[in-house]
């Protein structure tokens, strides 16, 4: 053992504080004035100071100062880092720089190397590493699978707690459900840190455990016990090695460190171990007084008050310890007397003894709390006494957090916890908020800021949103925050969620409906319809566009369908589109209106394939004469007419239709823009035939006319139309 | 995840993600654009397609919002902006438009991040002119018209003309990404609650969007906010505020989402050759006759309006405040990038490091971590 614990128990002990203090006064020597470090964690409970946003600012500024002084922020090396160690200058001499960009939603971006002067051409030869890209994550923000499980489990507990509790309702202490949920959360966190082996998560566990022990102890145990349990888990003493070194010797009592070992057991509230140690140590009790004193000591240890009623029994038990100390002063065996008196001093809560035997502020605080007076209101006072002896090591983040908790500065503790793990910080803030521990913090200074609990949840939710698989958890948290920021974040991120399945789409649209995000819903539906189009699910795309009344897009798609078919030949429609084409009455009105030209073309092709040329010709003729037909399609549709007006087969169109088509042709040719567009499109259509002759259907009119120019095709159509009209006259119809 | 060989034959100048972050495009001096797709669940990037997009160095890329399909804009030293479209999820791209109004190499291109009123694209090049193009018909993205052009730094252009090839220069542009600002501006402008306005939803949306389309552009050391404002009955872009204090060439600008602050203010970050990363806070204010630029304490301070570009007296505008500035790179800073919520900023530069800054509770930014491209930098004290 090392540190402040004395090994000598003489009254002249020259350590920092004599363990043989008088029995005068409850607390012995007053605590020293707080050091500059402890000032940072001045307890609002002890000093009457109201916790303010300055507390948070202090932490941020301390962080910033630390960063400015030694720039100790977390640094990691990019995988396959392209700059050799110590060769940064050489790399810079190559006129290179590093660039990095973050993606729209996720926390993992890409870094790459660029030249510093590219306008004039880069003269430095490129090396392979310079044309690589380097994935890089925002520190402490990317979730592993194990961490995702922790996030999910935490969220489930949060939901359960929210269902069971109503924020703001004053709670009857006996019906306080928070300790039970706090214990469960701690178990979830403990399991996560054991799975993940992350140092920061383990530190966050220490802070969380400290907070729950200090403020959310199970009603079945005394709070002082809970704090000591926290310490014994966080920093177990005596260690297994120390116990073995003493207790496995033939006569433990003869070991020089025996009393130090016993006192440490007592100081840590390990009463049964301490009692057993005294019984089994082979202490020679030469006289009855020694034997009686030893029996008294073990009896006191074994009857230490525990559990829910420990608080009431403490005063009586302490009185027994005081009497035990007086009893020991009469012992003749000097070594035994000194050892048992020191033990008695611990048990009666003598602050000088406790602080002299303690090795850290945590140990001193927890022992004073357990032995002196376990009233929760005195915890910050004990903390002040302990830190006067053992300054808080602010370089250990968890220690800074625990110090703030014990001091009663909860906002600062949460701020420190946030530096370790924002998920943990948010959840413990929620517990504090439900227990009304942050009420004093929400004051005039924080009017322009969101409630601290909400801010932490927002920070956590942003991480959830930026990690695959936890977006909806992030949204659930954001919905529970006050003000508009949470909803704004949902609004900002909702359109970035990849629409992998229709189920995702439906969930997002339901959320948009719930939150009245009409614009975003439209954007999502439009993006989904584009995705459906790229998957050749045209019918589905049309249906979704119809659901948002986007006639412009529906019109564009239906014309594109016709264009595509005129260029590539008839392609089979997807199931939904097929249903609408075959059964127009099933088609929503807007789609039916705009799909009519394509449906007409589709019907024309269908009849043509079935050999029903009269019916086919009727459909084609009506399409050619359609008043709103874009001029660019006219030439290609006339080309489709060629096989139907051939003298080699029966006449397909009546004279009136033939004349009407000729009239349309005349009108089209008169409109220079339409004619030019039509000729260009027809040429493109014919050229597509030549490029994909093998894939062309045998009955495609272009198979026969593929090598004819667009203008020649039109000329041929006109000639055949004239011939057909004359044929009609000759046939007298 | 390990580094990925892109297959480019020259330096990469820009990287752009699609709206979902599942596609990644790179551009290079080799005149090629390459597209990578993120494999789920391994999250690794694999090459999807590659195509020659320009006839010179390609400087910048931008994906359009997904409601317009898979659309990618690129700009180049060949003085053009080109728009490429894919109908097969990025396996192939076809050029659908070439915009060639620039009088010099085009340095940066950016699609407007919000949807609504047609698709817009801003670009800026070595001629120091920021241009906004508009495709009014979403069904025909081959048709773009030049909706706006303006010299960002008039003084600079007059003294140097178009940036010479041997003159170092840089130009950047970025749109305001936030949707919520639109409503907040509208509310502020009229002094009413949007929810109380009895207008058809679409009309309300249209008015609000027209009111506050805004972007930030930099030319050399000058950074200017442009905003669409009502002027003589017509909504048009105007230079409205300047972000002051840059003592050298600004390499990059990035406009953050205002979501995390509930639209209460805007954040714009700049990366500067003078070694500083700056974060400006823009708060909506009624500017009562204040026109002069005031810039205190060699950096931190407040400016309301500007003598050259300031709005009319008693006009609406932003109060510009330097929220934070960092010189931790100790060298030129070349790139700044925000996360989706505007709560994390990354900066990178000549020190071979990516530095991350996060918003603290008070709204100020603090260091979050460093990713180093130099081997052996793990957990080291970084100087």
pLDDT digits 0-9 by tens, A220-255? 778 899 999 999 998 999 998 888 888 889 889 999
Residue A83, pLDDT above cutoff 90:
yes
Q: Do B69 and A131 touch (CB under 8 A)?
A: no
Phi, psi angles (nearest 5°) of residue B138: -65, -15
The average pLDDT across A107-129 equals 81
Query: In angstroms, what CA-CA distances link A133 with A455, B86, B163?
Result: 34, 23, 30
Q: Which of B72, B66, B67 lies closest to B51 in space, CA to CA?
A: B72
The stretch A687-707 carries a mean pLDDT of: 73
pTM: 0.83
- For residue A503, the tally of other CB atoms under 10 A from its CB is 9
Phi, psi dihedrals of residue B325, rounded to the nearest 5°: -150, 140
Residues A351-390: tens digit of each pLDDT: 999 999 999 999 999 999 999 988 888 999 999 999 999 9
Closest CA to B99 of B130, B75, B71: B75
Look at A98 and B348 and tell me if their CB atoms are within 8 Å.
Answer: yes
Give the whole-angstrom CA distance, residue A318 versus residue A348. Answer: 5
Q: B60: part of which helix (H) or strand (E)?
A: strand B58-63
Beta strands in B220-350 (DSSP E): 222-231, 234-242, 250-255, 265-272, 277-287, 302-304, 315-326, 333-338, 344-349
Lowest mean pLDDT among A12-26, A42-56, A569-583: A12-26
Residues in chain A: 733
Q: Which residue(s) pair with B99 in the sheet?
A: B81
CA distances from B79 to A83, A633, B55 (A): 33, 35, 10
With a pLDDT cut of 70, the percent of chain A lying above it is 85
Question: Strand B333-338 relative to strand B344-349: parallel, antiparallel, unpaired?
Answer: antiparallel
- Asked if A86 contacts B380 with a C-beta cutoff of 8 angstroms, the reply is no
- For residue A498, list chain B residues with Cβ-Cβ distance below 8 A: 20-22
Tell me what percent of the residues of chain A surpass a pLDDT of 90: 53
pLDDT the model gives residue B304: 40
pLDDT at A44 over 50: no
Question: Mean pLDDT throughout B221-239?
Answer: 83
Report the pLDDT value the prediction gives residue A113, as an integer from 0 to 100.
Answer: 96
| Segment A519-546 mean pLDDT | 91
How far apart are alpha carbons A457 and A446 in whole angstroms?
16
Question: Looking at the predicted structure, is the pLDDT value of residue A288 above 50?
Answer: yes
Q: Which residues of B touch A100 (CB under 8 A)?
A: 335, 337, 346-348, 354, 371
pLDDT at B157: 59
Interface test with A, best of B6, B13, B20, B60 (most A CBs within 10 A): B20
Q: Cβ contact (<8 Å) for A527 and B65?
A: yes
Task: Say how many C-beta atoms besides its own lie within 10 A of residue B320's C-beta.
Answer: 28
Name the burial class of residue A575, with classes exposed (0-12), middle (13-18) and buried (19+) by CB atoms within 10 angstroms of its CB. exposed
User: In this predicted structure, what is the pLDDT of residue A692?
Assistant: 66
Q: For the residues B333-357, what does the mean pLDDT come to?
A: 96
Helical spans, DSSP H, in chain B: 154-160, 180-190, 201-212
Q: What is the pLDDT of residues A648-668, one digit of tens each?
A: 777 788 888 889 999 999 999
Rounded Cα–Cα distance for residues A428 and A413 (Å): 10
Q: Indicate the SS3 state at residue B34.
A: strand
Of A89-93, A159-163, A647-651, B22-26, the least confident: A647-651
Yes or no, beta carbons of B2 and A79 under 8 Å apart? yes
Residue B73's pLDDT is 97
Residue A137 clears pLDDT 50, i.e. is over it: yes
Confidence of residue A686 (pLDDT cuts 50, 70, 90): confident
pLDDT at A47: 36
Tokens 């789920």, located at residue: B40
Give CA A522 to chain center in angstroms.
26
| pLDDT exceeds 90 at position A6 | no
Interchain pair B69, A118: CB under 8 A: no
Given a cut of 70, is residue A539 above it in pLDDT? yes
What pLDDT is recorded for position A443? 64
Q: Give the C-alpha separation, A18 to B33, whole Å.
A: 77
Among A297-306, A597-606, B201-210, name the one with the lowest average pLDDT.
Answer: B201-210
Task: Give yes or no for a contact between A189 and A198, defined as CB atoms under 8 angstroms apart.
Answer: no
In this predicted structure, which of A142-146, A175-179, B113-117 has the lowest mean pLDDT?
Answer: B113-117
Q: Under a CB-based contact definition with an 8 Å cutoff, are residues A152 and B197 in contact?
A: no
Binary contact (A73, B59; C-beta < 8 A): no
Alpha-carbon distances, residue B332 vs A253, A673, B11, B249 (angstroms): 69, 55, 19, 10
pLDDT, position A645: 85
Say which residue the tokens 């390499």 belong to. Answer: B251
Question: Residues A421-432: what's their mean pLDDT?
Answer: 95
Q: Tell me how far apart the alpha carbons of residues B174 and A598 are, in angstroms, rounded to a whole number.
A: 41
Residue B180: predicted pLDDT: 44
pLDDT band, residue A190 (cuts 50/70/90): very high
Which of the two residues, A306 and A130, has the higher pLDDT score?
A130
**Of the partner residues B165, B352, B356, the one whose CB lies closest to the CB of residue A83:** B352
Query: Residue A440's pLDDT is what?
Result: 76
pLDDT digits (tens, 9 = 90+) for A268-285: 999 999 999 999 888 887
Q: What is the DSSP string of A550-586?
A: -HHHHHHHHHHHHHHHHHH---PPPHHHHHHHH-GGG
Helix (H, G, I), strand (E, B) or coil at B358: strand
Q: Which residue has the tokens 């057993």?
A: A276
- Give the pLDDT confidence of A434-483 residue by residue, as tens digits: 988 988 776 655 667 788 899 999 999 999 999 888 999 999 999 988 87
| pLDDT band per the 50, 70, 90 thresholds, residue A618 | very high
Q: Hey, of B206, B371, B376, B380, which one would you mutate to test binding to chain A, going by the most A CBs within 10 A of its CB?
A: B371
* Residue B253, beta-bridge partner list: B270
> Which of A205-209, A500-504, A705-709, B167-171 has the weakest average pLDDT?
B167-171
Can you tell me the distance from the alpha carbon of A255 to that of A257, in angstroms, rounded to the nearest whole number? 5
pLDDT at A511 over 90: yes
Our measurement of the distance from residue A184's CA atom to the centroid of its chain's CA atoms, rounded to an integer in Å, reads: 20
Q: In DSSP terms, which residues pair with B223 in a beta bridge?
A: B218
Give whichever of A691-695, B186-190, B268-272 has the largest mean pLDDT: B268-272
**Sequence-distant (≥ 6) Cβ neighbours of residue B275 within 8 angstroms:** B327, B329, B330, B331, B332, B333
pLDDT higher at A60 or A409: A409
- Label residue A701 by pLDDT band (50, 70, 90): confident
Q: Between A312 and A71, name the one with better pLDDT.
A: A312
pLDDT at A131 over 80: yes
Residue A12's pLDDT band (cuts 50, 70, 90):
very low
Residue B335 has its nearest CB partner, among A75, A101, A492, at A101
Residue of A nearest to B44 (CA): A135
Residues A642-646: what's their mean pLDDT?
Answer: 85
Nearest CA in chain B to A74: B369
CA-closest candidate to residue A662, choices A729, A719, A731: A719
A694 CB neighbour count, 10 Å cutoff: 5
Q: How high does pLDDT run on average in chain A?
A: 84
Mutate one of A62, A80, A104, A529 to test the B interface: name it (highest B CB count within 10 A): A104
Q: Mean pLDDT in chain B?
A: 81
Q: Is the pLDDT of residue B12 over 60?
A: yes
H or E stretch covering A616: helix A613-624
What's the average model confidence in pLDDT over B55-74? Answer: 94
Integer Cα distance of B280 and B285 in angstroms:
15
Residue A11 has pLDDT above 80, yes or no: no
- Min mean pLDDT across A151-160, A611-620, B164-173 is at B164-173
Q: Which residues face B132 on adjacent strands?
A: B122, B148
Give DSSP secondary structure letters for B320-343: EEEEEEE-TT-S-EEEEEE-TTSS
Q: Sort out which chain A residues have CB atoms less than 8 A from B9's CB and list them.
A: 126, 131
Tokens of A733: 């119809």
Size of interface A-B (CB pairs under 8 A): 349
β-bridge mates for residue B16, sequence order: B25
């Amino acid at each position: 053992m090392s540190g402040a614990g004395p090994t000598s128990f003489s009254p002249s002990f020259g350590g920092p504080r004599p363990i043989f203090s008088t029995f005068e006064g409850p607390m012995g020597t007053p605590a020293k004035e707080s050091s500059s470090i402890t000032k940072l964690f001045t307890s609002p409970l002890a000093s009457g100071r109201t916790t303010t946003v300055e507390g948070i600012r202090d932490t941020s500024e301390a962080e910033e100062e630390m960063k400015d002084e030694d720039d100790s922020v977390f640094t990691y090396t990019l995988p396959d880092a392209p700059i050799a160690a110590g060769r940064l200058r050489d790399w810079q001499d190559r006129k290179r720089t590093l660039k990095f960009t973050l993606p729209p939603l996720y926390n993992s971006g890409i870094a790459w190397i660029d030249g510093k002067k590219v306008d004039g051409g880069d003269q430095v030869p490129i090396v392979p590493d310079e044309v690589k890209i380097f994935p890089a994550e925002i520190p402490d923000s990317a979730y592993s699978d194990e961490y995702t499980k922790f996030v999910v489990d935490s969220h489930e507990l949060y939901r359960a707690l929210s269902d069971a509790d109503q924020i703001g309702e004053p709670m009857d202490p006996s019906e306080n459900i928070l300790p039970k949920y706090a214990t469960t959360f701690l178990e979830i966190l403990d399991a996560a840190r054991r799975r993940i082996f992350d140092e920061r998560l383990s530190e966050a566990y220490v802070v969380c455990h400290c907070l729950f022990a200090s403020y959310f102890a199970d009603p079945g145990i005394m709070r002082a016990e809970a704090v000591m349990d926290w310490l014994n888990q966080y920093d177990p003493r005596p260690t297994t090695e120390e116990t073995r070194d003493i207790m496995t010797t033939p006569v433990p009592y003869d070991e020089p460190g025996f009393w130090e070992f016993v006192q440490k057991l007592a100081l840590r509230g390990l009463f049964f171990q301490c009692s057993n140690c005294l019984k089994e140590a082979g202490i020679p009790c030469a006289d009855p007084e020694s034997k009686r004193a030893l029996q008294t000591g073990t009896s006191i240890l074994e009857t230490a008050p525990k559990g829910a009623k420990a608080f009431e029994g403490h005063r009586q038990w302490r009185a027994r310890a005081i009497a035990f100390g007086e009893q020991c002063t009469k012992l003749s065996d000097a070594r035994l007397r000194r050892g048992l008196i020191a033990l008695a001093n611990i048990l009666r809560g003598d602050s000088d003894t406790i602080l002299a035997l303690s090795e850290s502020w945590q140990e001193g605080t927890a022992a004073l709390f357990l032995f002196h007076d376990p009233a929760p209101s005195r915890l910050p006072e004990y903390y002040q006494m302990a830190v006067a002896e053992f300054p808080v090591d602010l370089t250990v983040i968890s220690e800074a957090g625990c110090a703030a908790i014990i001091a009663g500065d909860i906002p600062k503790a949460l701020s420190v916890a946030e530096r370790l793990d924002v998920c943990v910080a948010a959840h413990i803030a929620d517990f504090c908020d439900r227990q009304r521990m942050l009420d004093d913090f929400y004051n005039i200074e924080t009017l322009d800021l969101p409630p601290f609990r909400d801010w932490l949840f927002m920070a956590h939710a942003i991480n959830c949103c930026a990690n695959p698989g936890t977006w909806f958890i992030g949204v659930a948290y954001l919905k529970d925050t006050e003000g508009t920021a949470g909803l704004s974040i949902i609004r900002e991120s909702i359109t970035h969620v990849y629409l992998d399945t229709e189920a995702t789409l439906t969930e997002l649209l339901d959320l948009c409906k719930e939150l009245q995000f009409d614009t975003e819903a439209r954007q999502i539906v439009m993006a989904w319809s584009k995705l459906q189009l790229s998957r050749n699910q045209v019918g589905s795309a049309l249906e979704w566009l119809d659901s948002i009344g986007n006639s412009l897009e529906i019109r564009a798609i239906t014309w594109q369908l016709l264009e595509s078919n005129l260029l590539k030949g008839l392609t089979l429609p997807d199931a939904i589109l097929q249903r609408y084409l075959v059964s127009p009455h099933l088609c929503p009105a807007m789609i039916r209106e705009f799909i009519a030209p394509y449906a007409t073309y589709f019907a024309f092709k269908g009849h043509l394939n079935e050999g029903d040329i009269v019916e086919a010709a009727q459909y084609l003729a009506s399409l050619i004469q359609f008043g709103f037909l874009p001029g660019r399609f006219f030439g290609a549709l006339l080309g489709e007419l060629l096989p139907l007006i051939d003298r080699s087969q029966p006449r397909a169109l009546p004279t009136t239709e033939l004349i009407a088509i000729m009239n349309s042709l005349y009108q089209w040719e008169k409109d220079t823009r339409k004619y030019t567009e039509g000729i260009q499109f027809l040429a493109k259509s014919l050229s597509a035939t030549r490029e994909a002759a093998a894939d062309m259907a045998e009955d495609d009119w272009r198979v026969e006319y593929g090598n004819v120019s667009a203008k020649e095709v039109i000329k041929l159509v006109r000639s055949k139309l004239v011939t057909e009209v004359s044929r009609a006259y000759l046939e007298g119809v | 995840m390990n580094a990925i060989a892109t297959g480019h034959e020259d330096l990469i100048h820009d990287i752009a993600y699609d709206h979902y972050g599942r596609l990644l495009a790179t551009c290079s001096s080799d005149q090629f654009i390459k597209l990578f797709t993120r494999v789920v669940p391994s999250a690794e990037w694999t090459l999807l397609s590659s195509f020659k997009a320009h006839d010179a160095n390609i400087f910048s890329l931008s994906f359009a919002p997904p409601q317009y399909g898979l659309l990618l804009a690129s700009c180049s030293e060949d003085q053009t902006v080109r728009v490429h479209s894919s109908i097969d999820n990025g396996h192939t791209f076809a050029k659908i438009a070439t915009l060639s109004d620039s009088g010099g190499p085009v340095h940066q291109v950016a699609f407007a991040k919000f949807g609504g009123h047609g698709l817009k694209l801003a670009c800026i090049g070595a001629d120091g002119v920021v241009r906004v193009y508009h495709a009014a018909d979403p069904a025909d993205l081959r048709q773009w018209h030049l909706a706006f052009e303006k010299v960002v730094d008039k003084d600079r252009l007059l003294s140097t003309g178009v940036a010479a090839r041997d003159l170092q220069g840089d130009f950047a542009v970025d749109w305001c990404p936030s949707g919520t600002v639109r409503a907040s501006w509208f509310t502020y402008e009229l002094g009413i609650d949007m929810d109380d306005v009895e207008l058809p939803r679409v009309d309300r949306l249209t008015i609000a969007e027209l009111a506050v389309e805004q972007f930030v552009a930099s030319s050399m050391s000058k950074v200017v906010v442009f905003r669409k404002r009502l002027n003589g009955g017509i909504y048009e872009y105007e230079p409205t505020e300047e972000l002051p204090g840059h003592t050298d060439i600004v390499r990059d600008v990035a406009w953050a989402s205002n979501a995390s602050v509930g639209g209460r203010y805007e954040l714009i970050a700049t990366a500067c050759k003078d070694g500083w990363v700056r974060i400006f806070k823009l708060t909506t204010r009624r500017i009562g006759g204040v026109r002069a630029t005031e810039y205190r304490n060699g950096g931190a301070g407040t400016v309301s309006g500007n003598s050259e570009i300031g709005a009319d007296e008693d006009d609406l505008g932003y109060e510009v405040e330097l929220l934070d500035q960092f010189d931790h790179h100790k060298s030129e800073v070349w790139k700044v990038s925000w996360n989706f919520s505007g709560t994390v900023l990354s900066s990178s530069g000549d020190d071979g490091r990516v530095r991350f800054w996060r918003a603290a509770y008070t709204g100020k930014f603090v260091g979050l971590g460093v990713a180093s491209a130099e081997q052996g930098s793990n957990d080291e004290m970084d100087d």
